[in-house]
Amino acid sequence: MRVKWLARVLLFVGLCLLAGCAGVSSVRQPANQILYVLNNGTVATFSIDPSSLSAAPVEDPVSLVPTSAALLQFDPSPRDHFVYSVWLDGQNLQHLSVFQTDSFGVPQIPAIQVLNANSLSQFNMHPRGRFAYMLEVTNVNQVYWADIRLFNVQSDGGMLVENPQIQGQYGPAFLWPAFLYGFSSDGSKLYDTSTLSDGAVFRERAIDLKTGELGADSQIFAAGREQAVVLGKVIVEQYQSSGDQGYIDVFPNTPNPKHASVHCTAAMLRYCATASDVQLERSGRYLFLTDPASQAVHVAAIRLSEERVLDTGASLPMTSQTPGFAFSPGESIVYAMLARDHSLHFYHFNLSTGSLTESGTPLPLGNDAGICPAQLD
């Protein structure tokens, strides 16, 4: 894949504040919508009215890391009783902190647990909130090795207890040996991926839902240097080219599918040929296509039975980042940072039709701010 594929993966496993928070997902409609706005290690909590989409600040912002530190990743637990932050201190040492939240979802200071995570990265909380995974990467003479580490979450306190058993090993490699991609939609599998000299390979590991322990790696998809891949309910492969020669293929999410269910070129939908970024909505029914040619993010419906992708007519104005938008846990809301005013805009998202309806008052954010939608019950 292109160099930008690696950048996309690095964004996914880093502070994914506009792409949705790493590892947190739910198929239930959340009882209360909340939104975290982060800026330089400080988090402000907003309550989102699900009808009007008005955003009301809750209590005062809190600082999660020392002044000299840098926040690398922020993850709420699935029901937001705890939040987890990975941060870098002034001596360039990495740590993982666990914070309880109050009844409004506001993180409480101080942290109830701080772990040394200097060789760990890519915190992924399982959708059920019972365990989490991180990748331990070591470099010996410019040769990389990686291990998957498992952490069990204490049900009564949210603190993490590391399982001493390594869950997966990768290497030796002269490139970064592996990345944790995320989870399958039902939480039964953990996805990982590795870059190769001629592209990339995507794999899956079965998860024991009682213990969190992982099964053996199994390849599910391989792509060349010119493709970008998104995993979800289906597998989406994007090829970009100058002009209108790009395309998007949609495959069934089965190990090593031989044929695409949909091959979308400009003849089927213009944005399939000119989009610069593709995001797959969690149900697997819609693609969000960031299209510089039309300066918009278009919503397209996947129709596997008809072997085509259809334009729903819904779109967002161009965002200030790529992708620059995030879904609420129940996917009824889309939060989008728009380039035209660098403010956060709120949209009702209809999962039946793919329509977007703006509501509420835009929330001004600084250029360095990020967002993390969550649920509270």
Question: In this structure, is residue 129 part of a structural domain?
Answer: yes
Helices (H), 191-315: 270-274
Q: How many of the other CB atoms lie within 10 Å of CB of 298?
A: 21
Q: Strands 333-337 and 343-349, how do they pair?
A: antiparallel
Question: In this structure, is residue 34 part of a structural domain?
Answer: yes
pLDDT value of position 26: 38
How many Å is the Cα radius of gyration of the chain?
A: 20
Host domain of residue 218: 3-225+314-376
How many domains does the structure of the chain reveal? Answer: 1
pLDDT value of position 95: 96
Question: In this structure, is residue 334 part of a structural domain?
Answer: yes
Question: In this structure, is residue 156 part of a structural domain?
Answer: yes
First to last CA, the chain: 41
Mind listing the pLDDT tens digit for each residue in 40-89? 899 999 999 999 999 999 999 999 999 999 999 999 999 889 999 999 99
pLDDT value of position 375: 86
Mind listing the pLDDT tens digit for each residue in 309-363? 999 999 999 999 999 999 999 899 999 999 999 999 999 999 999 999 999 999 9
pLDDT value of position 27: 37
Question: In this structure, is residue 292 part of a structural domain?
Answer: no
Confidence check: pLDDT of 2 > 80: no
Question: In this structure, is residue 283 part of a structural domain?
Answer: no
Question: In this structure, is residue 69 part of a structural domain?
Answer: yes
- Indicate which CATH number applies to the domain containing 29: 2.120.10
Mind listing the pLDDT tens digit for each residue in 124-166? 999 999 999 999 999 988 899 999 999 999 988 899 999 999 9
Residue that is written with structure tokens 């331990």 in the block: 136
In the chain, count H helices and then E strands: 2, 28
Give the C-alpha distances (Å, rounded to integers) separating 106 from 36, 46, 179: 9, 9, 30
Peptide bond into 323 cis (omega under 30): yes
In which band, very low, low, confident or very high, does the pLDDT at 307 lie, cut at 50, 70 and 90? very high
Q: Is the Cβ–Cβ distance between 100 and 84 less than 8 Å? A: no
pLDDT value of position 16: 43
- Which DSSP category does 271 fall into? H
Question: In this structure, is residue 276 part of a structural domain?
Answer: no
One-letter amino acid of 61? P
Tell me how far the alpha carbon of residue 153 is from its chain's centroid: 21
> Cβ contacts of residue 116 below 8 Å, gap of 6+?
93, 94, 95
Mind listing the pLDDT tens digit for each residue in 81-121? 999 999 999 999 999 999 999 999 999 999 999 999 988 99
pLDDT value of position 22: 52
How big, in percent rounded to 5, are the helix, strand and coil portions of the chain?
Answer: 5, 55, 40
How many Cα atoms are found within 13 Å in the side-chain-facing hemisphere of 310? 12
